[in-house]
A and B are shown apart, each in its own frame.
Chain A
Amino acid sequence: MRPNTALAIGLAATAASAFLWHGPGGASERFATRSDRDVRQMLDYFEMKQVQGRMQRNPVARRIIYAGPADDFQRTELVRFGESLPGIGEARWSRPRSPLTYPLPLIGEALAMALAAFLAGLTFAYIFSLGRSESD
């Protein structure tokens, strides 16, 4: 097989794995549901029953969006506490205008993780091939 063909097939399989695991595999929804639960627990702990905090959907991103009655101090502190929850990149009170702000949509981050793992595998194979050719 030609090197370019092998690389193209490998990259396509990597992208397909990322999309399949993210969407039909349900990873993004599981992650968002768990984060929703963490946010609800935090709000319950602070006895802020009227405030809602949900993970951004369409597209899913590691961003909490709050809604509900709160004063300025509470708004600031909820952002701070929300961003300290595991896996959360940003907490805010309104949806950002552009989806291309940090944190990027989760599909983009999943694709980046998949590419990083693919390159790590490629690097390992290269290192093994060096050892192999020396021993031959």
Chain B
Amino acid sequence: MLALLSAYWPMIAITFVIGLATGRMLFWPSRQKGIE
């Protein structure tokens, strides 16, 4: 399994960041809303 992870770790890192960015859009309250 480690051999597979070593070949695919950049993809895993990228998709983790995509998940973080998506979660930020979904869960974090927007500043615009706070100003309003």
Name A residues whose Cβ lies closer than 8 Å to a Cβ of B.
Answer: 1, 3, 6-7, 9-10, 13-14, 17-18, 21-22, 25, 27, 30-31, 34-35, 62, 86-87, 109-110, 113-115, 117-126, 128-129, 132-133, 136
Contacts and interface: CB of A to CB of B under 8 A. Distances in A.
A7 B25 CA distance: 9
A7 to B, nearest CB: 6
Nearest to B2: A86
Contacts of B5: 113
Would you call the interface of chain B mostly helix, strand, loop, or mixed?
helix
Chain A interface helix/strand/loop/mixed: helix
Given A14-B19, A27-B7, A62-B4, A125 B12 contact: no
